[in-house]
Amino acid sequence: MYQKTPWFLKQLKFTGAGADANEIRTERLLLRPLRYRDAKDFYEYAKDEQVARYVLWDAHTSLNQTKAILRSQMMQCRQEGLLTMAITMKETRRMVGTIGLVNRDWDNHTAEVGFSLARAVWGQGLMTEALTAYLRFIFDQNIIHRIEALHDVDNPASGKVMKKAGMKEEGLLKERIYYKMRYASVRLYAAIRDEWLRENAAR
C-alpha cells in the first residue's frame, strides 16, 4: 500500500543535484534536478511564444524573470515533492526542457505530469524518450499509483507523446481549462503503475 503522508520525500533525497539517484539517463538525454545555472538555457526557449502556446505559463519576457521562476520552481519542487527535472542533451549538456509533477494529490497517490521542450529540438522523439523514462523513474519508486496528463485538443503532438510513452486516453473534458483568454477542451491520459510497468517492461 502507498503511504498517505509525504514522509518518504525525505527518503527520495531529491535535493543533492548531481547525485546518480536523482538522474535519469536515456539514449540521448540526461534528466536531473533543476539548477540555478540553468536560467540562461531555460530563458532561451521559454521566451518562445510557440513553446508557451499550450502551457499554463506565459512566455518569459526577461532573463531576470526566468531566474525568479526557476528559483520558485526549485522551492516548490522541494516543498511539494514535484520531482521536477531539467531535460538536458547528453552531448551538449544544454537544458532543453523540463518535466515534472503538477497538482500532486497525496491522499490518492496520484499526480499530473507536465512537460515542455525547446522548439529547436521538437520532432525528434525527445519528449517521448523523456516521458517514458520519467514514468519509469516515478513508478520504480512505488510512491505514486496513477499519473495523469492533460493536453489541449489543439495540441495533438502532446497527446501523441503521452500515447507513445504508454499512457492511455481516458476521455475528452470539454472546455475544462480557462487559459490564454479562452476555455480549452482537453484530453485526459493516464498511466496506472502496475499496468504501465507490465506493458512497458521491454522498453
Ligand X SMILES: CC(C)(COP(=O)(O)OP(=O)(O)OC[C@H]1O[C@@H](n2cnc3c(N)ncnc32)[C@H](O)[C@@H]1OP(=O)(O)O)[C@@H](O)C(=O)NCCC(=O)NCCS
**Least distance to ligand X, CB of residue 115, Å:** 6
Q: How far is the CB of 165 from ligand X (least distance, A)?
A: 8
Nearer to ligand X, 39 or 99 (CB): 99
Question: Is the CB of 76 or the CB of 155 nearer to ligand X?
Answer: 155
Which residue, 21 or 181, has its beta carbon nearer to ligand X?
Answer: 181
Q: How far is the CB of 170 from ligand X (least distance, A)?
A: 15
Q: How far is the CB of 144 from ligand X (least distance, A)?
A: 19
Residue ranges binding ligand X (CB under 6 A): 51, 54-55, 115-117, 122-128, 151, 155-158, 160-161
Long-range Cβ contacts of 191-198 (<8 Å, 24+ apart): 191/135, 191/139, 191/146, 191/147, 191/165, 191/166, 191/167, 192/145, 192/146, 193/139, 193/142, 193/144, 193/145, 193/146, 196/135, 196/139, 196/166, 196/167, 197/136, 197/139
By beta-carbon proximity to ligand X, the closer residue of 85 and 117 is 117
Measured distance CA(100)–CA(88) in Å, rounded:
14
